[in-house]
Amino acid sequence: VTDQNFDAEVVQASSTLPVLVDFWAPWCGPCRGLAPVIDEIAQEYAGRANVYKMNVDDSPMTPGRFGIRAIPTLIVFKNGEIVEQGTGAVGKSNITAMLDKALA
């Protein structure tokens, strides 16, 4: 997602599915390490949650709007509201727990 489509895809999404957004940058080592895990989760949760990535260098306005000061930062939105948030290279089980909580 980008600054231009973030509200439409995440905040105003007509779907009742939770949305996981991975705020990252290509120069961030922990972000690159987390990328395959995010891809796996996107496949595993297909149809139950939407998973997006936002490059903070290409789209700096949205991270600023949510007060993101460190990357990677993962935020789970539901009905346009933040329901879970984590910073750093967290493990897959932590991320799936965030999504499962939002699905409950």
* pLDDT tens digits along 12-54: 876 789 999 999 999 999 999 999 999 999 999 999 999 999 9
* Options 21, 28, 49, 102, the catalytic residue: 28
pLDDT of residue 12: 86
Q: The pTM is what?
A: 0.95
Count the neighbouring beta carbons within 10 Å of the beta carbon of residue 62: 21
**Segment 63-72 mean pLDDT:** 96
Integer angstrom CA distances of residue 39 from 12, 33, 51, 69, 71: 23, 11, 8, 23, 17
pLDDT of residue 28: 97
Clarify whether 25 is annotated catalytic. no
* Options 10, 19, 21, 31, the catalytic residue: 31
Helix (H, G, I), strand (E, B) or coil at 75: strand
DSSP string, 4-38: TTHIIIIIS-SS-S-EEEEEE-TT-HHHHHHHHHH
Rounded to 5°, angle at Cα 17 from 44 and 89:
55
